């Protein structure tokens, strides 16, 4: 039997990974197609869209959290969903923070492909749906960079998830909000152990992704 | 064929992650739950962590505690974003009672504020005859003061004390620091600067070793810190509150057993009690613990 403090740490860590993982997944599922679409097509309002994505990449997470908490509050427009102060509100907010990062970096990766590649693929007469996979394969380095940036952003985010999650014990407390709380309670030892775990997770994940990136480059 | 073989692991990964997303654990779907908006001082003391598990076990009601400043908690109540409030700013609470938003206000425990400062006590407030006198001495000596400035219950009390001392709490003074943040961080700032500060006793005890400040005030009626349970009028809001759950929690907090637990809380962690229960008046075990 684990001692309660360690048990709490494990529980909070698992929740952190679950919330961030889900948000990352949603951001990738939404962001990569949008990025590819924006990057590989021409239409009139494209410039406007691209610049709003670029602005979104720099959006302060705390503003995203504020908007989320107003929208999701019982008295707010989406109050009937009963989502404020649940992990799902945290996933939605984290997705909103990660999405512009994923779109923006996908867009940049598509943009960095040289025109010859496009021409080659076209002249080879490869069917359209295969072309998409070839494109994804071609920009996988850029996509990994997007994953690393988005994961780093939402894993270390504290203001927004505190606002929409409420840092409720056993429900919405994640590593960053727990560190904030224990620091404000003067419990620096617990805060420090949680900070170590958070940092360890970041190192591990970043290391894993970098390794993937490096081994992908050799192929 | 190259592209197709690449899609397989990726599809598997996505399917796995989606499955994890759907089946992942969450307490949010519990049958009965309620939102309790309370002040950071109550949460940070650890009192609710001691009391609430028993309540949840007995009733099956999950209490989702949102700890914010008293001003923010009252606002949550006003807008129907919480089911029950637990705050410590009597004057502001009474406004909500008068407006009919709060249907019942029940004081259920108290402790006290302290004026803390450096042991050297440059403004000589340890010999002040009252908390108001202490504030006047700090002002007259031009000594440093750290103000919470965050519309918390403690900040409201701080302003009331300055008013009672005949001073303008909003006036700019030399060596006035407005932190706009929680009690713990404000205490640390006061400790670093060797300034005076108003604090609730619970947070002060959690921090006093680290910040090196001393309690310099004597207890006075203007430093009483009364915590009340506020029931809200569900019919005012578009989306109904969890009133029956909120009423069950209120009943639980007012039982003799819980009140005794409140009175004993803190002995193991701080070597002294932090709160005096207010609903044990006719009980033989009731004794004033504040000193």
CB nearest B3 (choices: A75, A130, A181): A130
CB hemisphere CA count around B243 (13 angstroms): 14
Please say whether the beta carbons of B239 and A79 come within 8 A. Answer: yes
Chain B, nearest residue to A23 by Cα: B21
Q: Choosing among B24, B40, B42, B239, which should be mutated to test the A contact, i.e. which has the most A CBs within 10 A?
A: B24
Domain that holds residue A31: 12-39+46-214
Residue A20 domain-assigned (yes or no):
yes
Q: How far is B40 from chain A (nearest CA, A)?
A: 9
Quote the number of domains for chain A: 1
* B269 token code pair: 């962690």
Give the pLDDT of residue B280: 85
The secondary structure of A98-155, three-state, reads HHHHHHHHHHHHHHHCCHHHHHHHHHCCCCHHHHHHHHHHHCHHHHHHHHHHHHHHHH
Provide the 10 A C-beta neighbour count for residue A94.
32
Write out pLDDT tens, residues A58-85.
Answer: 889 999 999 999 999 988 899 888 899 9
| pLDDT exceeds 60 at position B13 | no
Residue A175 domain-assigned (yes or no):
yes
Give the pLDDT of residue B3: 42
Sign of the C-alpha dihedral computed for residues A77, A81, A86 and A92 taken in this order: negative
| pLDDT exceeds 90 at position B206 | no
Give the pLDDT of residue A2: 66
Give the pLDDT of residue B55: 96
* Torsion, Cα of A24, A26, A28, A29 (10° steps): 160
Phi, psi at residue B279, to the nearest 5°?
-110, 30
Residue A4 domain-assigned (yes or no):
no
Provide the 10 A C-beta neighbour count for residue A19.
25
Range in A46-50, A68-72, B103-107, B131-135 the model is least confident about: A46-50
| pLDDT exceeds 60 at position A38 | yes
Among chain B, residues having any CB pair with chain A shorter than 8 Å are 3-4, 6-7, 14, 17-18, 20-21, 24-28, 35, 40, 43-44, 46, 49, 64-67, 79-81, 182-185, 203, 206-207, 210, 237-239
Give the pLDDT of residue B230: 97
A87-116: average pLDDT: 92
Cβ <8 Å between B239 and A133 = no
Write out pLDDT tens, residues B87-96.
Answer: 999 999 999 9
Please say whether the beta carbons of B230 and B77 come within 8 A. Answer: yes
- Is A166 at the interface with chain B, CB within 8 A? yes
| pLDDT exceeds 90 at position A135 | no
Give the pLDDT of residue A193: 95
Cβ <8 Å between B184 and A166 = no
Q: Which residues in chain B are contacts of A134 at CB distance < 8 A?
A: 3
Q: Choosing among B8, B15, B66, which should be mutated to test the A contact, i.e. which has the most A CBs within 10 A?
A: B66
Residue A6 domain-assigned (yes or no):
no
> How high does pLDDT run on average in chain A?
89
CA–CA gap between residue B36 and residue B142 (Å, rounded): 41
Residue A58 domain-assigned (yes or no):
yes
Pairing of strands B276-277, B176-178: unpaired
Cβ <8 Å between A18 and B3 = no
Cβ <8 Å between A186 and B206 = yes
Q: Which residues pair with B104 in a beta bridge?
A: B231
Residue A150 domain-assigned (yes or no):
yes
Residue A206 domain-assigned (yes or no):
yes
Give the pLDDT of residue B289: 43
CB nearest B239 (choices: A74, A85, A169): A74
Give the pLDDT of residue B14: 56
B247-258: average pLDDT: 96
| pLDDT exceeds 50 at position A148 | yes
Pick the residue with more confidence: A16 or A48?
Answer: A16
Chain A, nearest residue to B24 by Cα: A18
Buried-state track B110-133, b at ≥16 Cβ within 10 A, e below 16:
bbbbbbbbbeebbbebbebebbbe
Chain B, nearest residue to A22 by Cα: B21
Give the pLDDT of residue B15: 59
CA–CA gap between residue A206 and residue A213 (Å, rounded): 10
Give the pLDDT of residue B284: 45
* A72 token code pair: 């999701």
Give the pLDDT of residue A35: 92
Give the pLDDT of residue B234: 93
* 3-class DSSP state of A81: helix
CB nearest A133 (choices: B3, B183, B185): B3
Give the pLDDT of residue B270: 82
B247-266: average pLDDT: 95
Please say whether the beta carbons of A155 and B53 come within 8 A. Answer: no
Chain A, nearest residue to B239 by Cα: A74
| pLDDT exceeds 70 at position B271 | yes
Q: Which of the four pLDDT bands, split at 50, 70 and 90, describes residue B5?
A: very low
Q: Choosing among A16, A168, A181, which should be mutated to test the B contact, i.e. which has the most B CBs within 10 A?
A: A168
Pick the residue with more confidence: B170 or B64?
Answer: B64
The secondary structure of chain B, three-state, reads CHHHHHHHHHHHHHHHHHHHHHHCCCCCCCCCEEEEEEEHHHHHHCHHHHHHHHHHHHHCCEEEEEEECHHHHHHHHHCCCCCEEEECCHHHHHHHHHCCCEEEEEEEEEEEEEEEECCCCCCCHHHCCCHHHHHHHHHHHCCCEEECCCCCHHHHHHHHHHHHCCCCCCCCCCCEEECCCCHHHHHHHHHHHCCEEEEEHHHHHHHHHHHCCEECCCCCHHHEEEEEEEEECHHHCCCCCCHHHHHHHHHHHHCHHHHHHHHHCCHHHHCCCCCEECCCCCCCCCCCCCC
Q: How far is A85 from chain B (nearest CA, A)?
A: 8
CA–CA gap between residue A216 and residue B53 (Å, rounded): 50
* B143 token code pair: 């000594």
Cβ <8 Å between A75 and B184 = no
- Is A58 at the interface with chain B, CB within 8 A? no
Please say whether the beta carbons of B34 and B64 come within 8 A. Answer: yes
Write out pLDDT tens, residues B151-199.
Answer: 899 999 999 999 999 999 888 888 899 998 888 889 989 999 999 999 9
Pick the residue with more confidence: B17 or B39?
Answer: B39
**The tokens 């949010």 sit on which residue?**
B28
Element spanning A188, H or E: helix A188-218
**All domains of chain B in start order, with CATH:** 33-111+225-277 (3.40.190.10), 112-223 (3.40.190.10)
CATH number at residue A53: 1.10.3720.10
Residue A210 domain-assigned (yes or no):
yes
Give the pLDDT of residue B228: 97
Q: Which of the four pLDDT bands, split at 50, 70 and 90, describes residue A122?
A: confident
Q: Which of the four pLDDT bands, split at 50, 70 and 90, describes residue A121?
A: confident
CA–CA gap between residue B214 and residue B168 (Å, rounded): 25
């Amino acid at each position: 039997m684990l001692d309660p403090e360690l048990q709490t740490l494990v529980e909070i860590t698992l929740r952190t990974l679950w919330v961030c993982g889900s948000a990352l997944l949603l951001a990738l599922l939404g962001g990569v197609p949008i990025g590819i679409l924006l990057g590989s097509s021409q239409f009139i309002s494209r410039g406007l869209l691209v610049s709003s994505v670029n602005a979104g990449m720099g959006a302060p997470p705390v503003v995203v959290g504020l908007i989320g908490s107003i929208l999701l509050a019982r008295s707010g427009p989406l109050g009937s969903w009963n989502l404020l102060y649940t992990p799902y509100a945290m996933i939605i907010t984290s997705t909103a923070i990660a999405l512009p990062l994923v779109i923006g970096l996908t867009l940049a990766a598509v943009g960095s492909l040289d025109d010859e590649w496009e021409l080659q693929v076209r002249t080879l007469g490869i069917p359209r749906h295969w072309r998409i996979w070839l494109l994804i394969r071609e920009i996988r380095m850029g996509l990994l960079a997007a994953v690393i940036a988005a994961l780093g952003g939402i894993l270390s985010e504290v203001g927004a998830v505190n606002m929409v999650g409420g840092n409720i014990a056993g429900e919405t407390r994640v590593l960053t909000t727990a560190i904030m709380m224990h620091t404000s309670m003067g419990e620096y030892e617990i805060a420090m152990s949680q900070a170590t775990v958070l940092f360890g997770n970041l190192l591990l994940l970043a290391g894993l992704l970098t390794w993937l990136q490096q081994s992908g480059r050799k192929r | 064929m190259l592209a197709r073989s690449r899609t397989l692991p990726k599809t598997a990964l996505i399917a796995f992650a989606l499955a994890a997303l759907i089946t992942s654990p969450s307490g949010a779907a519990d049958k009965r739950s309620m939102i309790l908006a309370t002040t950071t001082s109550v949460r940070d003391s650890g009192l609710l962590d001691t009391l609430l598990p028993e309540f949840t076990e007995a009733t099956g009601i999950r209490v989702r505690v949102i700890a914010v400043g008293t001003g923010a908690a009252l606002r949550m109540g006003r807008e129907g974003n919480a089911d029950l409030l637990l705050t410590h700013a009597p004057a502001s609470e009474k406004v909500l009672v008068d407006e009919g938003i709060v249907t019942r206000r029940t004081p259920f425990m108290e402790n006290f504020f302290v004026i803390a400062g450096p042991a050297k006590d440059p403004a000589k407030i340890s010999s002040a005859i009252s908390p108001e006198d202490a504030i006047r001495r700090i002002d007259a000596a031009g000594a440093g003061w750290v103000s919470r400035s965050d519309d918390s219950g403690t900040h409201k009390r701080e302003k009331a004390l300055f008013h009672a001392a005949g001073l303008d709490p909003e006036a700019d003074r030399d060596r006035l620091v407005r932190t706009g943040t929680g009690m713990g961080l404000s205490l640390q700032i006061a400790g670093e600067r060797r300034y005076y500060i108003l604090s609730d006793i619970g947070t002060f005890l959690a921090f006093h070793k680290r910040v090196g400040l001393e309690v310099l005030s004597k207890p006075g009626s203007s430093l009483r810190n009364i915590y009340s349970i506020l029931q809200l009028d569900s019919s005012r809001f578009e989306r109904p509150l969890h009133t029956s759950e909120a009423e069950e929690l209120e009943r639980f907090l007012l039982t003799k057993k819980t009140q005794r637990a409140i009175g004993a809380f803190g002995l193991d962690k701080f070597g002294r009690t932090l709160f005096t229960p207010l609903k044990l008046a006719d009980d033989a075990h009731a004794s004033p613990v504040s000193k």
